[in-house]
Structure 1
């Protein structure tokens, strides 16, 4: 009988290839309505941000009770008492006794405890001792292992920056002071520069060359431009507001001042974090399997024990002996060692993975690792390095050209504006600095700074004894607008409609590869001048293009190949655009099988999307709830689903998946939602995790 029940316990693992579809999920999250951005955050927050973006600055500051010199200490204190500290409520660590209860409370342990109690009441002390010991040992082992892992995970959670530069009004004058982020209040004026983390949701009041990375929010690898001017765009998505900065993002280049609109849980970040923390974890396939067998045993006992009791009682007349025999049947139906075996094998797997620099926060995740047959992964920061690299430097015809790289380097080196990520990527080519003797052979004459209307900038340099050279770098359309010639080898020719069509084809090809194209043009100028302006950006010669990419991690391609060999299908779920995503998929060897955008997901019913997720492996421009919905429907289709991500936009899906995987550089909300945290950038540990999960299963079997 025990053997038959054990077979039932593991039957689900054996029904499909690679143990992939064991123990179909019993409990699902409530069906979600079509996900829209307005449902991702409270409507009041979206209205607050939209109103803050569109209102005139004096009216906005008046409504917030602030002014251009900032708040006084008394005003800030009063607002802090009203709004509370600028802190986002994360998932609170469980008290040790609650964690211990969670490690104990599953139907199997409750069943064994009941049997131990009955054995004790019937004076079968040996049976009571053995059963109770198994329960205690398995509970304490799980508690110790998970507590140790959670302590290691908590040690990873640290804010990038814990202070902000704030304007405080003292004696009628604005003074810059450094304040802990948690002390900020709505109405505070903050000063931002490159490297700063945005401490709250803010309206930009002034900006110079401001680029902000919103990858943790949206999954977009490239920084976005932020402006101080009022935007007239009609949008329901707060992330599209180009003069609003969001808590948790960071400044990659430029400088700005802003006024705090919302703090703490009232921010966009806080709303998403609350949404994640408020959602109970869905039962994993392993938990569902254990619960299924536990209830099967209980049903057997409810049938067998009374049946044996009445048959023995009526046939033999000794009801006490019949009761003891019925209880022995109940005990005999239960594999007392099973909880201990399961917990010890899972703990052994966690110890093995810890040697691979992997933190296992929940022991059940080990077995789910082995049973996983679908891995959904974010792109930015997980598959890619989340760092912009200069991928190509080519002439107008698309052929490699060192001249283009040299021109781009001189432009980036001599410009005095705050350098964005693209300039940093160009300046990493230090060999150009040596070859051109930039610091000695060349000198800067003047520059025409970048602005968002022209979307280009120029520097004028002079090599000793040579004419001045104006070098312009910027967006393709804007640079083409001031060019009338193109360079072809050593020759120059007029920019004809035919050549323009050729240029469009070449650059479109780069865009299809997911590259961001920046055009480079130049013009020789007579020496003798020391001041240049916008009018000099004319009659330029197009030299070529520099193209940039957020490349994949070196371990991504071999890791995905290894997972495919072990029967794990990989699906990419990202908030980035489809062209960049398609390029990354090609580079990592992931053959694209269908593409769905967030808008497509939005329009589909659950039934339609459940069919589409089976035949599609690339999803782009997704919101957090789109990702969660896709993972949920894959689970409903019978898959054991893993999800790997590192941003706040990944947290809901991490929590819904059977196994959530994150990395040590992830935002703290993502690490809280994950079951497993990778401490190294290599993704090859995913294959080792799958194999270890299957070894653990074999040991339990």
Structure 2
């Protein structure tokens, strides 16, 4: 069934249905199954998760893995292929490949686990469409839609495929995802278009990924997945996704280490080659130094933190759609939110139906009921509240009326009109925001008499509405107008010269726990700003009840008059923004981000979607409209600020544990650079054999696997956190030299004191055999000092506080690092130690080891306190 040869926009409905072998009643089930088998799922290919093979390939082709593989090849060639048979030794190459395999295997397991977890979570955030099949309307998952399906469209829907319209009523669609243009486009189901039009200009076509803002329509699915216009655009734009600030920071840090490796490794090779005369050994040692400078466990640490974080967030009611959003979640310092359902219970009730004199009047309820129940667009919480109250209090006869036509709600007019026939009259009933209703009304009904709506009357109405607003009541106006019975259609021009007959007052009380949640977010240094389409009086009343400063506000009209510089300054000063349209919400978020803030946006409506896309983190809820869920990075199972506060804290904890590995490992590696360079210059032998250095690196990496399970101090969790590559460099310069100082001290003590005392003389005075023992003891001593210091310093640098006394590590971290140090210390006394050319150390060394570890941790602690006082932050 190939439709590409048809100009779908110009076909008649009859031709279209025939070409697709379908009908207005929809497809039969057996034909649906056949088409699903023939055409596959309605899923854009670029959105599919990577295959297991791709995950495996990427794990071995990461920059660090490629560097290690290259080093392993060089090591294997110089130690095995290019040497005499009796000197062949592939140990170093095996250790390097082991490092690659461990890192890659852990990354592969984590990513496959993440893939399965996200797949299962996706089912919890299912997007559906209203499809007609065998004459019945059903909510069908969008991926199960087939060619020829009949689809019903209404406000809030996202187009799941390319659709040819066959019926429409005031259908306005946002094509921003495809065109970037914010203006709405009206779509019409014309029987035939005489002139061929370009795709995006076709009035009879609605395209996948676009959004229904208002109105209704019925259409036929004509293109799926990659065959759609959206799919074609996606294929051309899928090259490289935008990187988060965190990803850029990790990349910058990785490149810094690789640059250092490229500079230092050749220097080490040259110095050792000239000083020892053994260029092969110098080359192997240089390779080992390069491996030591490569943080090959960085992808594993990052991924394990993100996966563990996503799992914890899901346990707390947050579904992670984009894994990289977790860091941004911990970084946000401004949370923008709508009002309804977040600060309030999202359980709106119609409290009062009042005539223009302020008295309850069943006629007002009756007209409001007709307007809400007979309109065919998205029935929001306001409509549902009116319908509930009407069904409860009106008689059966009062509930019956016939709809003739309607003008759906949109965010420009902020009102909705329905033309109904009741007995022998046709009445246009319009409800909407009070200011907009005053704009289209020139008369007012007072005590049964229609009077002119004078300026004084307008002021009286506005003052009365304001008094209701200050009590936390949201008020809509209701106007009517008789229409000639010969007119069966209405247009926007009919919304004028109406008669204001009354008001509808709604109550949505503050949510229990909202005040506590706002206070908790404030403790975490997250500002809450309210961006709402509601008026200032209702918004201020609610905000005061939940503890948000509500004295000052900006309206949408004021926002519109400001240039970007003025609005950027105002966005920092104000916490409440009222009567905003969707474009204004998005503009505010964009300017906050431009000013340097990390911004989250919580929303669930059509009007929130543009702002969610502009935010660092778009947050939606499970019962949101399709557009909002598709725009979100995170989906809350409950629209509750308390859950958000937990998610922010969890995001910061994940970020903190990643920073522990990055900063501590980078500083340790940086310190080792100077140690190796100085040792290469002054020692008559290598400070450590290549395979010993590689083994030390492997042991340290194993101990770092416990970092994702560590805890963060509460003080750290109460500040927004972001990766600053400048901060990483600063940390490296401050703490790296400490490692070098104690390495050099160890070289001196081993070379001039401990080993000469044990062997009865200095290195140059010993026999060749004794020199070999001297070198082996030296290597073992530096290995043990390095193992103890760089592993135990994790406890000191994991917190700004005094380790163990003021800040205890997690049990997994304590056990893994403790067992790693213990196992690594025993190695020289085992057969593996013999294979690595380690030797048991003299008794006096152990006294030195305890003293040097104590002094190392003491100096690190002193310098840490100075660093924190100077820069106000450690990690």
Same fold (TM over 0.5): yes
Q: Taking structure 1 as reference, are residues 628 and 384 closer, same or farther at Cα in structure 2, changes over 3 Å only?
A: farther
- Report the secondary structure of 2:319's partner residue: strand
Specify which of 36, 50, 53 is matched with residue 97 of structure 1: 53
- Indicate whether 1:438 and 2:398 are aligned: no
Q: Paired residue for 2:502?
A: 544
Report the more deviating stretch, 477-486 or 96-105: 477-486
Q: Taking structure 1 as reference, are residues 685 and 104 closer, same or farther at Cα in structure 2, changes over 3 Å only?
A: farther
Q: Paired residue for 1:677?
A: 635
- Report the secondary structure of 1:329's partner residue: helix
- 1:469 touches 1:522 (CA, 8 Å); kept in 2? no
- Indicate whether 1:580 and 2:534 are aligned: yes
- 2:336 touches 2:599 (CA, 8 Å); kept in 1? yes
- Report the secondary structure of 2:281's partner residue: helix
| CA deviation after TM superposition for structure 1 residue 664, in Å | 3.4
Q: Taking structure 1 as reference, are residues 394 and 104 closer, same or farther at Cα in structure 2, changes over 3 Å only?
A: farther
Q: Paired residue for 2:114?
A: 146
Show the 5 A alignment for 1:124-135. Answer: 124=92, 127-128=95-96, 131-132=99-100, 134-135=102-103
Give the root-mean-square deviation of aligned CA atoms.
Answer: 6.5
| CA deviation after TM superposition for structure 1 residue 516, in Å | 7.1
d(CA) in 2 for partners of 1:308 and 1:662? 54
Show the 5 A alignment for 1:169-568. Answer: 181-184=145-148, 278=238, 280-334=240-294, 339-361=299-321, 363-375=323-335, 390=350, 393-396=353-356, 399=358, 401-403=359-361, 407-409=364-366, 412=369, 417=374, 425=382, 428=385, 438-439=395-396, 455=417, 457=419, 473-475=429-431, 486-487=445-446, 495=452, 497=454, 500-502=457-459, 505=462, 517-519=476-478, 543-546=501-504, 559=517, 561-568=519-526
- 1:200 touches 1:267 (CA, 8 Å); kept in 2? yes
Deviations 1:475-512 (A, max 9, x none): 5899999997743xx79685563654346635885999
d(CA) in 2 for partners of 1:445 and 1:339? 65
- Report the secondary structure of 1:350's partner residue: helix
Higher RCO (Cα < 8 Å, 6 or more apart): 1
| CA deviation after TM superposition for structure 1 residue 216, in Å | 11
- 1:86 touches 1:184 (CA, 8 Å); kept in 2? no
- 2:147 touches 2:221 (CA, 8 Å); kept in 1? no
Specify which of 61, 64, 72 is matched with residue 11 of structure 2: 64
Q: Taking structure 1 as reference, are residues 105 and 570 closer, same or farther at Cα in structure 2, changes over 3 Å only?
A: farther
- 2:372 touches 2:387 (CA, 8 Å); kept in 1? no
Specify which of 676, 680, 691 is matched with residue 649 of structure 2: 691
Q: Taking structure 1 as reference, are residues 332 and 610 closer, same or farther at Cα in structure 2, changes over 3 Å only?
A: farther
Deviations 1:371-418 (A, max 9, x none): 333446688998899998647533425x4x432x56414762799956
- 1:103 touches 1:139 (CA, 8 Å); kept in 2? yes
Q: Paired residue for 1:4?
A: none
Q: Which has the higher helix share?
A: 2
- Report the secondary structure of 2:312's partner residue: helix
d(CA) in 1 for partners of 2:70 and 2:55? 21
d(CA) in 2 for partners of 1:278 and 1:202? 23
- Report the secondary structure of 1:280's partner residue: coil
- Report the secondary structure of 1:517's partner residue: strand
Q: Which has the higher strand share?
A: 1
d(CA) in 1 for partners of 2:207 and 2:347? 20
Deviations 1:512-537 (A, max 9, x none): 999673426799xxxxxxxx9699xx
Q: Paired residue for 1:43?
A: none
Report the more deviating stretch, 195-204 or 293-302: 195-204
- Indicate whether 1:163 and 2:131 are aligned: yes
- 1:285 touches 1:658 (CA, 8 Å); kept in 2? no
| CA deviation after TM superposition for structure 1 residue 298, in Å | 1.5
- Report the secondary structure of 2:243's partner residue: coil
- Report the secondary structure of 1:393's partner residue: strand
d(CA) in 1 for partners of 2:626 and 2:373? 36
| CA deviation after TM superposition for structure 1 residue 362, in Å | 5.1
- 1:369 touches 1:689 (CA, 8 Å); kept in 2? yes
- 2:417 touches 2:428 (CA, 8 Å); kept in 1? no
Question: Structure 2: which 5+ runs fail to align?
Answer: 1-6, 24-30, 80-89, 179-183, 192-198, 409-415, 488-496, 661-875
d(CA) in 2 for partners of 1:585 and 1:274? 44
Q: Taking structure 1 as reference, are residues 554 and 494 closer, same or farther at Cα in structure 2, changes over 3 Å only?
A: same
Q: Paired residue for 1:25?
A: none
d(CA) in 1 for partners of 2:104 and 2:539? 48
- 1:153 touches 1:671 (CA, 8 Å); kept in 2? no
- 2:122 touches 2:321 (CA, 8 Å); kept in 1? no
Q: Taking structure 1 as reference, are residues 198 and 310 closer, same or farther at Cα in structure 2, changes over 3 Å only?
A: closer
- 2:146 touches 2:221 (CA, 8 Å); kept in 1? no
Q: Paired residue for 2:86?
A: none
Report the more deviating stretch, 664-673 or 559-568: 664-673
Q: Taking structure 1 as reference, are residues 696 and 402 closer, same or farther at Cα in structure 2, changes over 3 Å only?
A: same
Deviations 1:615-643 (A, max 9, x none): 7876954569x959965x76666544545
| CA deviation after TM superposition for structure 1 residue 124, in Å | 2.6
Q: Taking structure 1 as reference, are residues 635 and 73 closer, same or farther at Cα in structure 2, changes over 3 Å only?
A: closer
| CA deviation after TM superposition for structure 1 residue 688, in Å | 0.9
d(CA) in 2 for partners of 1:693 and 1:592? 31
Report the more deviating stretch, 124-133 or 468-477: 468-477
- Report the secondary structure of 2:247's partner residue: helix
- 1:409 touches 1:426 (CA, 8 Å); kept in 2? no
Q: Could you tell me the TM-score, scaled by structure 1's length?
A: 0.60
d(CA) in 1 for partners of 2:239 and 2:518? 30
Deviations 1:349-387 (A, max 9, x none): 333222113233555443332233344668899889999
Q: Could you tell me the TM-score, scaled by structure 2's length?
A: 0.50
d(CA) in 1 for partners of 2:13 and 2:174? 27
Deviations 1:538-576 (A, max 9, x none): x99965212579999877776555434322345678xxx
d(CA) in 1 for partners of 2:646 and 2:485? 60
Q: Paired residue for 1:529?
A: none
Q: Paired residue for 1:234?
A: none
d(CA) in 2 for partners of 1:133 and 1:108? 12
Deviations 1:77-127 (A, max 9, x none): 9xx9xxx99957362222222234445655445445555666666623684
| CA deviation after TM superposition for structure 1 residue 301, in Å | 1.6
Which has the higher Rg, Structure 1 or Structure 2? 2
| CA deviation after TM superposition for structure 1 residue 438, in Å | 1.9
| CA deviation after TM superposition for structure 1 residue 138, in Å | 3.7
| CA deviation after TM superposition for structure 1 residue 154, in Å | 3.4
